[in-house]
Structure 1
Amino acid sequence: MQKNIINYLQSVLENKPQDWVNLTTHRLDIYNESLAKVQFLNEFEDLFSTNNTKTEALSQLHTAYDYIRLGHPLSCILEWALGKLNHLASENIISFDSNTAPILAVLRKNLFDKKETRIIYTDALPNNFNVDVVKRVYGYDFSIEKIDDISTIPPFKGSTILVQNTKELGITSIPNTVDFLVNIHGTLGSILFVNGMQNKDYVGAIQHVRRRETIAMTPANCVIALDALVANADIKQEAVNIDTAKQTVFNTIKEVTGTTNLPLVASSGLSIQYAIMMGLLQDAQDNYPDKAVKIVVPPNCYGGTNDQARRVAACLDHVDIVDLPVDGDNDMVQSIHRVLNTIAEQDAIPYIIAEIPTNPRVEVPNLKDLQEALSKERLTPNGTKAVAPVFILDQTFCPNVQFLGENDILADIKTISFASGSKFPSGGRCTAGYCVGNTITTEILTKIATHLHICDNEATPLQYQILSEQLPSMNQRIADAYKNTRAFVSYIEEVLPDAKINFVSEELASQGFTPSVFSLDLPTKGDTEEERETYKRALNLKLINLMIGTIPNESKFCVSYGQLKGCYWTIPATSTQGTTKEGDKDYIVRASLSPKLDLTLHKQVFKEFVDSL
């Protein structure tokens, strides 16, 4: 059986679809989130049983995960193969780009379960695993022990994590007294083995940490790992000099954002966001140890942001979530005034997360009013000055707009800005994200860097290389994509005037807000609200299916944005808002256009849709 697995893997690697290595987002039309990984591997098992490794057959497998940071075909296959060889279920094996995230994932679960954790290691723990900070800031409790012989690990009333540094992949010996084995494979990342039926309920919790606070082992690194597994050889990790690429990335980010502090670059947008959150919590602990923290977040913003913030708050008794209604019938500035007044009355620390433009309604607040709301001095009930907010600005939709430079609108307000790298920064070629801060956030940035290091979430060498190639052309791509989007929006307004389109005004565009995404609230009909909503939801899918069915080489049912070519369609409520509360979800169409696509053909197909109504 072992030989059959190895031979099959070798053939799969030779015939793998290039999309498995190159894409950052995958097709939603063949994706069932409730069966993430499972559906892909069930179909992969069928191919294995018939020894089918044809590229066409592999390409037709259902999407494993919609984003590669969550997992992807190659990470699933690596986990499947290790499961087969070690007689474990594939879901019990979870690969990470990070060497510390699997340890942190178990610690998080045991925090809620009020369960003791023992970390045992044979050689050395990861250098970046700062025991003091993990205990003090994350609130995790554990003991550490070094041993020479893993066969003599005594039983323990709680969870035992065994950490090993190894260059080998394949059959792994896991002592019965070990609940979780973390094999660290240098710069490739790590692989976590969940041992024993008694730990089955950890799988979902660990997967969720990988989903929200780090990323899966990258496709390129999974290929290296699988090659080593097939060859029965040590993992080969060639040293790559990326100093030049790093410098290009740092210089370009500073130029684009108008900032002077050193940018921080992470493995994904959520990776950098997690470092921001934990860095801010340490800053609060250091400077205001007796005050509560309020994380202020829009309830309908990107689901990953929303979910992550709530997960951070759930771990710490002194941290709470405060909703910030920002679009539709709500005004971001007025909401900020109301929320900050309340937090001042509570003498708490406000950290505000907001997207500008908002997602999916693509709205921009009055920036002068925003500045005034954030900078207004407020008093606590005892008359002392309230703690000023830190503004955490998600600029993924418009990373070209300068907010933080010396003469920019938020120069004098403590602000951290970040962007998801799988969008415009990389043109969809990698997931790496980055953050910058204005001149008054230097101390905070140092703490964010600490947590980026602790979580081992810095961008990979390949990600730095890709960003160094793509970032210099980002602003031009943004301008070109906006032109296509404006032209398409104008056409829709002409042929379907009853539709409600959420897009920036010409006035905002003249200020530099030139996103290439818009949302479309299609006209509906019916005698009741339920009938109208049902009709509209069906119409959403009708439009998307027509576009991707007629123009499959360009139009995709996908959550992507900022790609180098094509047009991407999604329904936020069923994709980017997956973990958002149902009442806050947006069942509308969101479309994003790239600098390169056949705009005439897209207009033509949209006209066909209008004519069918």
Structure 2
Amino acid sequence: MKENILKKQIQQVLEQMPADWLTLTTHRLDIYDESQAKTQFLAAFEELLQSDQISNQALAKLPTAYDYIRLGHPLSSVLEWTLGQLHGIPADQVISFSSKTAPILAILRKNLFLKKSTQILYTEDISHFFSEELIQGIYGYSFELLQVNPNEKLPKFEGSRVYISQKAPISELENPFNSDFVISTHEPWGSIIHVLGEENASYISEIQHVRRRETIAMTPIHCQQALKALNGEVEESTSDNLAADRKEQVLESIANITATDIKPLVASSGLSMQYAIMMGLVDEALEKHPGKAIKFIVPPNCYGGTNDQARRVAACLDQVEVVDLPVDAGNDMNQSLDRILEELAQQNAVSYIIAEIPTNPRVEVPDLDRLKEVLGKERQTAEGEVALEPVFILDQTFCPNVHFLGEGETLSGIPAISYASGSKFPSGGECTAGYCAANLKAEGLMEKIALHLALCDNEATEEQYEILARQLPSMNQRIQKAYENTREFVNFIQDKLPTTKINFVSEDLAQRGFTPSVFSLDLPTKGETEEERESYKRALNLELINLMITEIPEESKFCVSYGQLKGCYWTVPATSTQGTTKEGDKDYIVRASVSHNIDLNKHKEVFLKFVKEWC
């Protein structure tokens, strides 16, 4: 009886859910409380079910669930809650993934630090998504892999026992061996991990963090299909004859946009792509340069996900270390990079550079001629031998239209890879899929990157390819129009509030192709002490943002994204994109991102109101 009521309620939710539950890729910070995250959403969701007042309007008013669809979203939360109800376990102990491999890696990572043994059980072959050799040899994880018969009696195991279920319907929790974790895989949706027993509750946050940094949650469309399947609806296969054509269209578009000849790769998110790049390069270094230290050179104040992931990889592998690259706020990227590469050359280390151009959130571009010179310089080891040339990994999400990799361009002289987050300009905020491209000198690295993208089961989904095939052809036009709107808005702000410091590209850089649509503001402040001035500025930041989203709710959002299809997004990087960055490296400034489709006159009008009221 309870199950029938539950299914009826879920059917109502699916019929009444807001349209953006399927299309939203980033949260709205104005209705988001990170400290409560999924708990707050589900508490309100349960109250709504109990009131029997399920409607489109009521569902739209629910608090934001999690932050990105990488970490979770309304439909993944509903799916996990429903499965928890069916199986009698807390909702937070059910975690969905778009990847089949990632939840296994999450447990192995946790047990690496606990120095705890792991036994992985399976009945059907898992070699198509799990490589024992690579995961032990490259990722540094140890485990016992055991194929078993469902009726087999197993001796007690001291450690974590993981069971991989591949054929059970999504409504069933198959656990014949009393395992600590059950991971059920479901093509083409991904997988669901069930954390069983209170003694394993400490794994939940670690598993969720892997989902946040190295992969994504099960996508909204797949969660919708899974919920329909729970209600007995047979979903038609999403695969069709156009799927291969769409993928080829996307790969061709990326090659054209980046002006490269090497076949690109497309992942489920920008961080999924970065993880494949990092692990592919670690694999390459271990194979080609055994015994040498591996150094990832990373700006300490860059996007928090990049920072966090790089350090997470280094934490797992003794031979990998992160080296800070100061690039902003008075630090010159080229000077910092030249110094660091000289030091690492002396150590005969393998050097991998991860950097954003323009930088985030200060929107700075280094002297590109000097950068080319620094990267191309031949350096010596302490023994007088020629040092290994570095590999440059460029996050060009802010300006994916700029050509860095072609013959004669800034990064053509050394192996270089560029990548971009797909939730920004490539998809216009409609999906998270990210991509990477390589220059000719990095062609050999792409095979390793592709290998680890497949190993982690992080390739873009068919639905993501469909969105990119639709959106990529117009990307450069959207970038140009968004830049023109941004330049006009920046000039207006400079004129009306000349005491504010605006971080944006110069007209000269724009002529060279750097046309971002994001800028940041250091608003004028006051106070007797530095603490008072900083406190006043932080309060003023929020006054500006709150005025914008209140006065223009149909366009202005408190959100971390950009490259969107409409309006203007506002955020404070220190509290959003730099969430895991060290406190001293955070930027408590306002960052705004402008789209190609915006009521610019209305935004000017509201900004002028802010100036008159607060400045």
* CA-to-aligned-CA distance 1:265-292 (integer Å, 9 cap, x gap): 0000000000000000001001111101
Contact 2:269 2:433 in 1 (8 A): yes
Secondary structure, in 3 states, of the residue corresponding to 1:152? coil
Q: Does 1:383 align with 2:387?
A: no
Deviation string 1:518-547 (CA, Å, 9 cap, x unpaired) is 000000000011110110000000000000
Structure 2 residue 359 is the aligned partner of structure 1 residue 324: no
Aligned pairs for 1:132-211 (under 5 A) are: 132-149=133-150, 152-166=153-167, 168-175=169-176, 177-211=178-212
What is the alpha-carbon distance in structure 2 between the residues aligned to residue 101 and residue 65 of structure 1? 19
Q: Does 1:355 align with 2:356?
A: yes
Distance 1:79 1:167, change over 3 A: same
Corresponding residue for residue 20 of structure 1: 21
* RMSD, aligned α-carbons: 1.1
Matching residue of 1:61: 62
- d(CA) in 2 for partners of 1:261 and 1:274? 20
Partner of 2:78: 77
Contact 2:285 2:294 in 1 (8 A): yes
The separation in 1 between residues aligned to 2:304 and 2:446, in whole angstroms, is 25
Asked whether the equivalents of residues 405 and 439 of structure 2 are also in contact (C-alpha less than 8 Å), the reply is yes
Query: Equivalents in 2 of 1:390, 1:372: separation in Å?
Result: 14
- Give the aligned residue type for 2:245: T
Q: Which runs of 4+ in 1 moved over 4 A?
A: 233-236
TM-score (norm 2): 0.98
* Aligned positions of 1:83-162 closer than 5 A: 83-149=84-150, 152-162=153-163
* TM-superposed deviation, 1:237: 3.4
User: Could you tell me the TM-score, scaled by structure 1's length?
Assistant: 0.98
Work out the CA distance in 2 between the residues paired with 1:510 and 1:350: 32
CA contact (8 A) 2:270 2:420 kept: yes
In the alignment, is the contact (CA less than 8 A) between 1:165 and 1:186 conserved in 2? no
Task: Specify the alignment match of 1:240 in structure 2.
Answer: 240
Question: What letter is aligned with 1:87?
Answer: G
Equivalences for 1:329-478 in 2 at 5 Å?
Answer: 329-478=330-479
- In structure 2, how many angstroms separate the alpha carbons of the residues matched to 1:353 and 1:52? 50
SS in 2 for 1:518: strand
CA distance in 2 between counterparts of 1:88 and 1:480 reads 50
Give SS of 2:386's match: coil
1:114-138 deviation digits (Å, cap 9, x = unpaired): 1111111011215031211111100
Return the alpha-carbon distance in structure 2 between the equivalents of residues 236 and 127 of structure 1: 24
Question: Kindly tell me: are residues 352 and 457 of structure 1, through their superposed partners in 2, closer, same or farther at Cα, counting changes over 3 Å?
Answer: same
Residues 229-272 of structure 1: CA distance to partner in whole angstroms, max 9, x if unpaired? 022x6665343231111111111111110100000000000000
- Verify the 8 A CA contact 2:165 2:174 in the aligned structure 1: no
Q: Secondary structure at the match of 1:351?
A: strand
Write the distance in 2 (CA, Å) between the matches of 1:256 and 1:188. 30
Ranges in structure 1 where 5+ consecutive residues have no aligned partner: none
Segments of 5+ residues of structure 2 without an aligned counterpart are none
Q: In 2, are the aligned partners of 1:296 and 1:352 still within 8 Å (CA)? A: yes
Deviation at 1:153, TM superposition (A): 3.8
Residues 467-507 of structure 1: CA distance to partner in whole angstroms, max 9, x if unpaired?
Answer: 00100100000000000000000000000000000000000
| 1:491 to 1:12, Cα distance in 2 relative to 1, 3 A | same
Q: Deviations over 1:118-173 (max 9, x none)?
A: 11101121503121111110001111111121573432111111001125122424
Give the letter aligned to residue 129 of structure 2.
Answer: N
Between 149-158 and 215-224, the greater mean CA deviation after superposition:
149-158
Shift of 1:52: 2.4
AA matched with 2:96: S
**Aligned with 2:29: secondary structure?**
coil
What SS does the aligned partner of 1:103 have?
helix
Query: What is the CA distance between 1:583 and its match in structure 2?
Result: 0.5
Distance 1:316 1:69 in 2: 24
Checking the alignment, whether the CA contact within 8 Å between 1:124 and 1:165 is kept in structure 2 is no
Count of aligned pairs: 612
Paired position in structure 1 for 2:531: 530
- Counterparts of 2:602 and 2:51 in 1: how far apart (Å)? 41
Alignment correspondent of 1:521: 522
Alignment partner, residue 563 of structure 1: 564
Between the aligned partners of 1:126 and 1:230, the Cα distance in structure 2 is: 31
Moved more, 269-278 or 240-249: 240-249
Classify the secondary structure of the residue corresponding to 1:501. strand
Query: In the alignment, what sits opposite 1:490?
Result: 491
Q: Secondary structure at the match of 1:37?
A: helix
148-157 vs 485-494, which moves further: 148-157
1:407 deviates by 2.7
The answer for the alignment partner of 2:311 in structure 1 is 310
What amino acid does structure 1 have at the position aligned with 2:444? Answer: E
> Could you tell me which amino acid in structure 1 is paired with residue 9 of structure 2?
Y
In the other structure, the counterpart of 1:265 is 266
Return closer, same or farther for 1:228/1:577 CA change in 2, 3 Å cut-off: same
Alignment partners' CA distance in 1, 2:155 and 2:538:
57
Cα distance in structure 2, aligned partners of 1:150 and 1:386:
58
CA distance in 1, matches of 2:160, 2:213: 23
| SS at 2:323 equivalent | strand
